[in-house]
């Protein structure tokens, strides 16, 4: 049944989000979704393949949902970016647990090529969207859209990765406000 597979992906996403890849055992997963081992290994041939599926089928869509970076008619691209950054502060889980993609990236990318690849795919698609939005904006001269898009992601992800330390989204907003200031200063 397809529902079983989805149930497994949900459980794995949740546990890996909190405990990381190596911190999550198959026993924990089995217990969380109350599914026998035979069933799980019917859908996934290994733990690694399973978590990679989570990256593609759970984390990727989640990132697209969190960062609403699609081009809108009659809206300056850079304003879409700014409002997207604000909206992130409303996502409590994200601000209090950190970014699931970045968490997994820190743990797995240096150590496993397949994870690095799957994670880079998501990172690049987000970065590219931001670059497109920047190119759809009236900016002062000499602004490099590519490095600026990297700067934006680096700052937002950095802020989120530190925000669990800081008590709340208030802190995230105070931090991120500097980024917004900078972005506004680049508008014509």
By C-beta, is 72 or 114 nearer to a second copy?
114
By C-beta, is 35 or 59 nearer to DNA?
35
Select from 46, 83, 120, 138 the one that contacts a second copy (CB under 8 A): 120
User: What is the 3 state secondary structure string of the chain?
Assistant: CHHHHHHHHHHHHHHHHHHCCCCCCHHHHHHHHCCCHHHHHHHCCCHHHHHHHHHHHHHHHHHHHHCCCCCCCCCCHHHHHHHHHHHHCCCHHHHHHCCHHHHHHHHHCCCCHHHHHHHHHHHHHHHHHHHHHHHCCCECCCCCHHHHHHHHHHHHHHHHHHCCCCCCHHHHHHHHHHHHHHHHHCEC
By C-beta, is 74 or 167 nearer to a second copy?
167
Q: Is residue 25 at the binding interface for DNA, with CB under 7 A as the rule?
A: yes
**Residue 135 phi/psi, 5° resolution?**
-70, -15
Select from 36, 165, 167, 185 the one that contacts DNA (CB under 7 A): 36
Q: How far is the CB of 23 from a second copy (least distance, A)?
A: 5
Binding mask 57-76 for DNA (x = CB under 7 A): --------------------
Binding partner of 75, given a second copy, DNA, none, CB within 5-8 angstroms per partner class = none
Q: Write out the binding residues for a second copy, residues 77-116 only, by CB under 8 A.
A: 97-98, 102-103, 105-107, 109-111
166, 178 Cβ separation under 8 angstroms: no
Q: How far is the CB of 155 from a second copy (least distance, A)?
A: 5
Residues in contact with a second copy by CB under 8 A are 18-23, 97-98, 102-103, 105-107, 109-111, 120, 123, 144, 146-148, 150-151, 153-159, 161-162, 164-166, 171, 174-179, 181-182, 185
């Amino acid at each position: 049944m397809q529902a079983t597979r989805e149930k497994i992906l949900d459980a794995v996403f949740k546990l890996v989000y909190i405990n990381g890849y190596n911190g999550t055992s198959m026993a924990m997963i089995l217990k969380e979704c109350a599914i026998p081992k035979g069933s799980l290994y019917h859908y996934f041939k290994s733990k690694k393949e399973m978590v990679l599926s989570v990256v593609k089928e759970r984390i990727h869509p989640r990132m697209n949902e969190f960062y609403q970076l699609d081009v809108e008619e009659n809206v300056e691209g850079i304003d879409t970016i700014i409002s997207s950054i604000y909206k992130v502060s409303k996502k409590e889980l994200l601000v209090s647990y950190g970014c699931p993609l970045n968490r997994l990236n820190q743990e797995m990318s240096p150590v496993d090529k397949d994870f690095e690849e799957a994670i880079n795919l998501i990172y690049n698609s987000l970065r590219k969207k931001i670059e497109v939005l920047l190119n759809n904006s009236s900016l002062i001269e000499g602004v490099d859209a590519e490095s600026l898009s990297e700067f934006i992601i680096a700052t937002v992800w950095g802020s989120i990765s530190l925000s669990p330390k800081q008590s709340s989204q208030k802190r995230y907003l105070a931090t991120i406000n500097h980024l917004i200031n900078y972005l506004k200063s680049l508008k014509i």
